[in-house]
């Protein structure tokens, strides 16, 4: 339609509105033919000359247009008028709350939604209004979670699920809210919501604490991809020739270039990159802040580019325009993720690192950076990415992190003479099983206390309540308040042993504890998240602090508390090696990482099925090694000779030096001297295949040991 014809049509519509010759249906139809500015004038004219009882609908549409055209004050007035004319107009009230949220008038928005929930009886509403009512509940839950009002948020989401159980996104928030509050059991029954629905609705981050099953975590990540990722987007680098820059262009993509665990670990990496070989880019999709850490990150980049206000496609094209050779994703599936930037494949090779301790399942991520303890080759089949192994330890860190003055125990409200266990992991990492184990440790070590982080009041209260239920006085739980990063680090100097969580270990927290010389006791499982602290300890040759069963974890904690001189020796050992160990040798770590990135660029996009086969079964490659094979025989032979009452044996591998020791409930099976490089492979094989060995218990009893060995190879 030509401009002149549009204007004449608009003028005709205005005349009809002024003369009251246009009903509401005609008004809505006319608006579809006009520009936003013309729509606003037409609606205002119609309202001015109309006394129709359906004026509320015209006010509502006007408000929507005004909001879209960035006239929030006028939009607010129009929404309010729509509700004044029709006090039961739920949609108008809901939209008014949403408008307030966008204006950061959070309490006003919450009040509008609370009014909907308190004013209306759900059962008598129309089907359309029932949907708005549930939207109000969900909006209350979502915003209150952001405002850290976790308990009230959970209550609203529970109401929502009781009205409509089929809401995976609501379940996702509900589960993580219960984790954050240490509300156990996390998967509390909700009428109409099955346990299977709760598990499938669990977010990727929450699943890291909820499961030690790598297959469950893989399936969970794939569900995220199915829901959130557009797999039909065009590749921006398809059929593109290599760039052949003088320096390789490495880019880091993240929403966490701020005071966040990822930047706390990576800032010195950015600073130490070899500028003779690499040009370093940072692409950021969070709003700016004025933190010192962000300023340091920006200063460490050769180019720092904000893509915060860009669409996913615009951000991807921006990255591509800089001819990046390799893009490092530091986000994974954590909060704020924008996976469709990567789905456009803005770089020829894309790698994930540090941000998410598990497989992302993102189809355009080619590699994941780890080490052989963190992702043993046997676990590679649970990753859609190909592992690139750092030679010593996967994690980089910052040697320049500021440390405050060492506090006294009294200033931390700690008893001077007590044995202080601490765990400063996020509260959502603490599971009911882990907490029960800690309470048994306190019971067995009467002069001990447990020093925890008070992340929120509900977590505090629930942990105190559970401690009392376990027979532990509430005074033996001491909660640390939030302090500056420097003072937080200083606190580690007055604790005795750090008790790690499982199945979601400390990552940055574990690094901080070791940096301050504090011994960590960890329980290693079968997932990336459950092997992080073990990786750090292994790199420091502190394998004695790595356990593989809850029973061993508990026993080791008690043993350490009863041998304080050994704990002091461990601390001195960690402190003495801090300047020379692999974990904190950042120049060497950066060179090793650069070598992996160069290798990935050279290899290009892998054929994942072919490549993964190389990592899935390291045992096959060692089959001719008599020491390894004899160790496997030792496991199953000992199983065959186990007493009849040993119907559910547990297999566990341990290493001292180059000697591998296998125990079974907990009798020693056999020992075998193994080459150093094979230690972790055997450990992984034993831990991961124990279910297969137990499943073949009858074959073992019937003497078919070679058959099992061959099958498992």
Give the pairing type, strands 659-664 and 667-673.
Answer: antiparallel
Cis, bond preceding 503 (omega within 30 deg of 0): yes
Local structure of residue 193 (DSSP, 8 states): B
Tell me, what's the pLDDT at 287?
84
Nearest to residue 687, comparing CAs of 657, 658, 662?
Answer: 662
Whether a cis peptide bond, with omega within 30° of 0, leads into 185 is yes
Structure tokens at 106: 């959070």
CA distance 598 to 617: 26
DSSP secondary structure of 409-457: TGGGT--SSSEEEEE-S-GGG--HHHHHHHHHHHHHSTTEEEEEE--SH
Report the alpha-carbon distance of residue 513 to residue 497 in Å, rounded: 9
Cβ atoms of residues 159 and 192 within 8 Å: no
For position 8, what pLDDT does the model report? 83
Task: Please state, as a whole number, how many other Cβ atoms lie within 10 Å of the Cβ of residue 160.
Answer: 25
**What does the angle CA 697 – CA 679 – CA 677 come to, to the nearest 5 degrees?**
140
Q: Which two tokens stand for residue 182?
A: 């240490």
Phi, psi (rounded to 5 degrees) for 596? -65, -40
What is the structure's pLDDT at 116? 97
Name the stretches of the chain with pLDDT < 50: 612-630, 633-634, 636-680, 697-713
Distance separating alpha carbons of residues 128 and 91, to the nearest angstrom = 9
pTM: 0.82
349: closest CA among 529, 548, 605? 605
Residue ranges of domains in the chain, CATH in brackets: 3-210 (1.25.40.10), 248-389 (3.40.50.11380), 410-584 (3.40.50.2000), 617-712 (no CATH)
């Amino acid at each position: 339609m030509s401009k002149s014809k549009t204007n004449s049509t608009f003028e005709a519509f205005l005349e009809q509105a002024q003369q009251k010759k246009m009903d509401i249906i005609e008004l809505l139809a006319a608006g579809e033919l006009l520009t936003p500015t013309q729509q606003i004038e037409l609606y205002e004219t119609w309202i001015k000359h109309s006394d129709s009882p359906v004026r509320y609908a015209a006010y509502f549409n006007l408000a929507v247009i005004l909001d879209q055209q960035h006239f929030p004050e006028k939009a607010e007035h129009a929404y309010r008028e729509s509700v004044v004319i029709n006090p039961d107009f739920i949609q108008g009230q809901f939209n008014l709350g949403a408008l307030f949220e966008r204006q950061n008038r959070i309490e006003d928005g919450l009040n509008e939604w609370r009014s909907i929930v308190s004013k209306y009886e759900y059962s008598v509403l129309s089907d359309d209004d029932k949907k708005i009512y549930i939207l109000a509940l969900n909006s209350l839950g979502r915003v209150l979670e952001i405002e850290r009002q976790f308990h009230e948020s959970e209550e609203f989401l529970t109401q929502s699920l009781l009205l409509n159980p089929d809401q995976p996104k609501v379940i996702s928030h509900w589960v993580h809210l219960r984790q954050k509050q240490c509300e156990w059991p996390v998967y509390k029954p909700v009428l109409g919501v099955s346990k299977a629905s709760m598990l499938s609705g669990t977010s990727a981050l929450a699943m890291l604490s909820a499961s030690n099953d790598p297959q469950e975590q893989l399936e969970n990540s794939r569900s995220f991809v199915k829901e959130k990722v557009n797999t039909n987007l065009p590749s921006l680098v398809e059929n593109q020739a290599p760039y052949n820059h003088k320096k390789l262009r490495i880019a880091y993509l993240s929403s966490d270039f701020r005071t966040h665990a990822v930047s706390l670990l990576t800032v010195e990496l950015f600073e130490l990159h070899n500028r003779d070989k690499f040009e370093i880019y940072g692409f950021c999709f969070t709003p700016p802040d004025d933190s010192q850490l962000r300023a340091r990150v920006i200063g460490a980049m050769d180019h720092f580019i904000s893509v915060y206000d860009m669409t996913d496609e615009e951000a991807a094209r921006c990255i591509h325009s800089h001819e990046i050779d390799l893009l490092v994703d530091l986000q994974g599936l954590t909060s704020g993720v924008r996976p469709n930037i990567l789905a456009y494949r803005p770089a020829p090779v894309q790698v994930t690192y540090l941000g998410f301790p598990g497989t992302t399942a993102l189809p355009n991520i080619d590699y994941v950076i780890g080490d052989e303890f963190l992702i043993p080759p046997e676990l590679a089949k649970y990753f859609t990415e190909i592992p690139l192994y750092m030679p010593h330890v996967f994690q980089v860190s910052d040697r320049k992190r500021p440390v405050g003055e060492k506090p006294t125990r009294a200033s931390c409200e700690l008893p001077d003479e007590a044995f202080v266990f601490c765990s400063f992991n996020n509260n959502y990492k603490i599971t009911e099983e882990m907490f029960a184990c800690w309470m048994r440790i306190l019971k067995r070590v009467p002069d001990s206390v447990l020093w925890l982080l008070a992340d929120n009041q509900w977590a505090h209260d629930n942990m105190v309540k559970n401690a009392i239920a376990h027979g532990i006085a509430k005074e033996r739980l001491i909660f640390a308040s939030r302090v500056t990063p420097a003072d937080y680090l200083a606190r580690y100097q007055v604790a005795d042993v750090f008790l790690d969580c499982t199945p979601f270990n400390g990552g940055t927290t574990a690094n901080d504890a070791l940096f301050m010389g504090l011994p960590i006791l960890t329980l290693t499982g079968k997932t990336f998240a459950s092997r992080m602290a073990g990786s750090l300890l292994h790199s420091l040759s502190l394998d004695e602090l790595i356990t593989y069963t809850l029973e061993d974890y508990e026993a080791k904690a008690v043993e350490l508390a009863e041998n304080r001189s050994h704990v002091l020796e461990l601390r001195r050992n960690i402190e003495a090696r801090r300047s020379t160990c692999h974990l904190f040798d950042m120049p060497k770590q950066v060179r090793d990482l650069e070598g992996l990135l160069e290798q990935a660029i050279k290899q290009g996009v892998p054929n994942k099925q072919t490549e993964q086969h190389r990592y899935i079964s390291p045992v096959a490659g060692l089959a001719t090694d008599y020491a390894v094979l004899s160790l496997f025989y030792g496991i199953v032979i000992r199983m065959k000779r186990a007493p009849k009452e040993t119907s559910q044996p547990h297999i566990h591998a341990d290493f001292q030096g180059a000697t591998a020791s296998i125990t079974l409930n907990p009798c020693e099976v056999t020992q075998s001297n193994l080459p150093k490089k094979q230690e972790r492979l055997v450990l992984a094989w034993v831990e991961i295949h124990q279910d297969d060995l137990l499943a073949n218990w009858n074959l073992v009893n019937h003497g078919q040991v070679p058959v099992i060995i061959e099958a498992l190879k």
